[in-house]
Amino acid sequence: MTNLDILFLVVITGLSILLAVFQYTEELKKKEDLKYLFVALRSLIFIVIGLLLLDLSITSTSTNIIKPRLAILADNSSSMKDKISAKQLEDKMRTLSQQKDITERFFTNIYQFGEAFKKLDTLNLNDNKTNIQKGLSTLSDLYPSNDIAIVLLSDGHQNYGPDFAHYARNRKMKIYPVAIGDTASYKDLSVDRINHNDYTYLGNEFPVEILVNYEGDLPVKSQINISNNKKLLFSKKLSFDKDKRSAIINAKIKTKKAGLRKYQVKLKPIDDEKNTSNNETSFQIEVIDDQLKVLLLSSIIHPDLGALKRSIETNERQQVIIKTSDEFKGNLDDYESIILYQPNRRLISYLSQLENKNASLLIIGGEKTDYRSLSKELGFFNKQNDKKTEDFQGVYNKGFKKFQFDNLGFSNFPPLSDQFGDVEISGEHNILLYKSVNGIKTEAPLLFEKEQGNRKFIFLLGEGIWKWRGEIFRQRESFRPFDRFLDKWVQYLNVDEKERLEVDAKRSYRSGSNGKVIARYYDANYEFDPRAKLKIRVKKSDGQEKVFDMPLINDRFTFDINNLSSGTFSYEVFVEGQSFQETGSFNIEAFTIENKQYGANVEQLLSASEDDRIYTLNSFNELQQELLKDEMFQPVQKSTQNKKSLINWYYLLVLLIVFLGLEWFIRKYNGLI
């Protein structure tokens, strides 16, 4: 209330008394003893009315103490098990949070992290992943002001997510690391990573790349071995010192048996090595003893042949054999897919034999193609031609739905060439690319497909496709988009009705690796059908069987193998209400990266600490004292002024009613009304 408000209050009080005296002086001459009571009541009534009309306000001040926050963050991963019990760790956390000095100084919360971040429930040290950075980033999101002290109880071994120490430094987070485990430094060798293909072919050599790391300063020597069923396949001696702490080993292993093959990688332990569990691991690779053999028959030598071979063979399951019409003496039954390039009369003579075996065909025409003989042999296709040639480009047909392919910008590609003439196709067919002549789109087909009974045909009516592959590389610095486009043709010619359901599953997974079985289902036009309901029936080698739904995630039906324990499984993916199904098998290898870590990662924990200091379970008292004396985290006294108008004070209205009622009652009682 200001000085002006006080002045108004004095004036209102004086005027109220004067007005009340004036009103009652003459009226109460006969009731001298009640005069002062009525004057007082009437004065109070006028004072209350005056206060309400002036709308005066009163300011009050409240004070409260705001404590800084303290987050106690515990590592719940299984790598902690050999260093501390869950109960001991939980007791330490609760003891710290309940210390009188700490509770008076801080507002405390306790959290746990491992595979996920959450408020402390009950520690079990069973999580198979450690993502310390995720825990810190979640705290940063919860308390963005950074006025929070973080006590981190962990062994410092993170195996998922970005570098937590780098994250903490960048965010200038105040972290007090408590190292759980042996903080002494020991020599240690570890197999950190293995890179290999998922499959190879029988008789081939497949490459393996192994990364080995060394922790220590003294020179050491070791040896790495790769074996299969206890048979040594590769061995190499290694040496490390303080300047050489890692090595990449490249090996080539020759396959001699088909099927899923398991290989063991083992490092010879060095002297005084405490943790040897990270010295060995294994990997699996599928050895395939068959390839899709594609016969490319040509009447001429042309650059397109090499482009076709290189492009198709980017799919390792496909092998292209090129033969000219004069060279080929083999049996067509030895090949799963046939390509006729600019067929002449001799190549066309094979069509009747191919018809008898219901073989699907890719036919590529050009300036040297014998279209007259081809049209005569194929009843549904006719091309009227003369000796003239023409150049043209391709135009993408958005309405093509037989199978999916991307628009690579065909209208900007170098032109192809072919004999001039109209094309007639009887029966149903689907055009992938139309011809464009001098930039004008025509209705003439350049690339089309047709089904004739049980056979499938794809026609490309133009030569010079090698220029398209080169143009793709010039634009995108990669042949892959074009190779995928051409692979679609080969897949379409070889796909059968069952392959409307595609399943992508590895032959081997590691437990806890977030591995997935992925399926895609296509409708009658081979378009992805998101309406379908897919399920997977999984049967373990011991006979246990379960059925799981495969939810649709990002246009893929997905099953997470983390729902299963380690072991060997057969599976059947099926479409509910349909007859389509795919079967296979996979193995889940028991693997826990947490078991590969020994002691505490002191270096990382030190890096995360702003003061370059870490604590242990034996120095908890020092940690408590450090928290209490840190000037950065002091309680703050906050004063708040609340301004409230008198018109909002409901009891003033109550007083007004009471005074009016009391005056009326007394006047009535004394016969003045």
pLDDT in tens, 134-174: 888 888 888 877 778 899 999 888 877 788 888 888 888 88
H or E stretch at 588: strand 581-589
Give the β-pairing of 337-341 and 292-298: parallel
Sheet with 361-365, strands from edge to edge, namely: 318-324, 292-298, 337-341, 361-365, 455-461, 440-452, 430-437, 389-396, 416-419
Q: Region 180-204: what's the mean pLDDT?
A: 78
Provide the pLDDT for residue 559. 92
Nearest to 151 by CA among 169, 166, 139: 139
| Whether the Cβ atoms of residue 240 and residue 219 lie closer than 8 Å to each other | yes
Relative orientation angle of helices 3-24 and 35-54, to the nearest 10 degrees? 140
Is residue 355 helix, strand or coil?
Answer: helix
- In sequence order, the β-bridge partners of residue 461 are 365
487 and 338, same structural domain?
A: yes
Amino acid (one-letter) located at 468: W
3-state secondary structure 289-308: CCCEEEEEEECCCCHHHHHH
pLDDT category, 235, cuts 50, 70, 90?
very high
609 and 589, same structural domain?
A: no
Is residue 430 helix, strand or coil?
Answer: strand
Provide the pLDDT for residue 30. 58
Containing structural domain, residue 417:
292-495
**What is the CA 285 to chain-centroid distance, rounded?**
25
C-alpha angle 311/314/319, rounded to 5°?
90
Nearest to 282 by CA among 210, 350, 335, 334: 210
Computed from CA positions of residues 407, 412, 415, 419, in that sequence, does the dihedral angle turn out positive or negative? positive
Nearest to 499 by CA among 440, 416, 573: 573
Nearest to 208 by CA among 243, 146, 269, 255: 255
Q: Using CA atoms, how far apart are residues 150 and 137, in angstroms rounded to an integer?
A: 12
H or E stretch at 431: strand 430-437
Sequence-separated (6 or more) residues with CB below 8 Å from residue 225: 232, 234, 235, 264, 265, 266, 268
Structure tokens at 78: 């299984």
Structure tokens at 577: 């209400």
By mean pLDDT, which of 19-23, 448-452, 534-538, 560-564 is the weakest? 19-23
| Whether the Cβ atoms of residue 231 and residue 160 lie closer than 8 Å to each other | no
Computed from CA positions of residues 614, 618, 620, 621, in that sequence, does the dihedral angle turn out positive or negative? negative
Q: Region 202-223: what's the mean pLDDT?
A: 87
Is residue 497 helix, strand or coil?
Answer: helix
**CATH number assigned to the domain comprising residue 83:** 3.40.50.410
Q: Region 443-463: what's the mean pLDDT?
A: 89
Residue 79 Cα distances to 82, 500, 562, 617, 652, angstroms: 7, 45, 19, 17, 69
Q: Region 105-121: what's the mean pLDDT?
A: 87
The phi and psi torsions of 468 (rounded to 5 degrees) equal -65, -45
171 and 280, same structural domain?
A: no
Provide the pLDDT for residue 38. 76
Relative orientation angle of helices 480-494 and 465-476, to the nearest 10 degrees? 130
Provide the pLDDT for residue 527. 61
Provide the pLDDT for residue 211. 92
283 and 272, same structural domain?
A: yes
C-alpha angle 294/300/302, rounded to 5°?
80
H or E stretch at 119: strand 118-119
Sequence-separated (6 or more) residues with CB below 8 Å from residue 161: 131, 132, 133, 134
Structure tokens at 32: 């001298």
Q: Using CA atoms, how far apart are residues 319 and 294, in angstroms rounded to an integer?
A: 6
3-state secondary structure 151-200: EEEECCCCCCCCCHHHHHHHHCCEEEEEECCCCCCCCEEEEEEEEECCEE
**CATH number assigned to the domain comprising residue 345:** 3.40.50.880
Please report where in the chains the tokens 């023409």 appear, as a residue: 390
Domain end among 453, 477, 495: 495
Instruction: Tell whether the model's pLDDT for residue 525 goes beyond 70.
Output: no
pLDDT category, 660, cuts 50, 70, 90?
confident
Percent of the chain whose pLDDT exceeds 70: 92
Sequence-separated (6 or more) residues with CB below 8 Å from residue 499: none
For the chain, what is the domain count? 5
DSSP H helical segments within 431-556, as ranges? 465-476, 480-494
Provide the pLDDT for residue 498. 47
467 and 545, same structural domain?
A: no
664 and 603, same structural domain?
A: no
| Whether the Cβ atoms of residue 267 and residue 280 lie closer than 8 Å to each other | yes
Nearest to 635 by CA among 62, 147, 156, 163: 147
Q: Using CA atoms, how far apart are residues 372 and 379, in angstroms rounded to an integer?
A: 12
Is residue 650 helix, strand or coil?
Answer: helix
Instruction: Tell whether the model's pLDDT for residue 511 goes beyond 60.
Output: yes
**What is the CA 364 to chain-centroid distance, rounded?**
42
445 and 316, same structural domain?
A: yes
Domain end among 593, 626, 651: 593
Q: Region 394-410: what's the mean pLDDT?
A: 83
- In sequence order, the β-bridge partners of residue 457 are 361, 450
3-state secondary structure 209-246: EEEEEEECCCCEEEEEEEEECCEEEEEEEEEECCCCCE
**CATH number assigned to the domain comprising residue 194:** 2.60.40.10
Mean confidence (pLDDT) of the chain: 84
Q: Using CA atoms, how far apart are residues 522 and 535, in angstroms rounded to an integer?
A: 15
Relative orientation angle of helices 35-54 and 650-669, to the nearest 10 degrees? 150
120 and 149, same structural domain?
A: yes
Q: Using CA atoms, how far apart are residues 102 and 229, in angstroms rounded to an integer?
A: 59
Q: Using CA atoms, how far apart are residues 404 and 406, in angstroms rounded to an integer?
A: 7
Provide the pLDDT for residue 182. 72
0.85 surpassed by pTM:
no
| Whether the Cβ atoms of residue 196 and residue 263 lie closer than 8 Å to each other | no
The phi and psi torsions of 499 (rounded to 5 degrees) equal -85, 15
519 and 468, same structural domain?
A: no
195 and 151, same structural domain?
A: no
Domain end among 264, 288, 312: 288
Percent of the chain whose pLDDT exceeds 90: 21
Q: Region 534-548: what's the mean pLDDT?
A: 92
Nearest to 357 by CA among 335, 330, 341, 328: 335
404 and 479, same structural domain?
A: yes
Is residue 37 helix, strand or coil?
Answer: helix
461 and 387, same structural domain?
A: yes
Nearest to 562 by CA among 538, 541, 543: 538
Amino acid (one-letter) located at 188: D
Provide the pLDDT for residue 595. 56
Instruction: Tell whether the model's pLDDT for residue 600 goes beyond 70.
Output: yes
Sequence-separated (6 or more) residues with CB below 8 Å from residue 80: 89, 125, 154, 155, 180, 181
Provide the pLDDT for residue 448. 92
Residues in the chain: 673
| Whether the Cβ atoms of residue 175 and residue 152 lie closer than 8 Å to each other | yes
| Whether the Cβ atoms of residue 126 and residue 109 lie closer than 8 Å to each other | no
Relative orientation angle of helices 132-142 and 164-171, to the nearest 10 degrees? 20
C-alpha angle 623/625/630, rounded to 5°?
95
**CATH number assigned to the domain comprising residue 520:** 2.60.40.1930
| Whether the Cβ atoms of residue 163 and residue 189 lie closer than 8 Å to each other | no
Instruction: Tell whether the model's pLDDT for residue 5 goes beyond 80.
Output: no
Provide the pLDDT for residue 571. 94
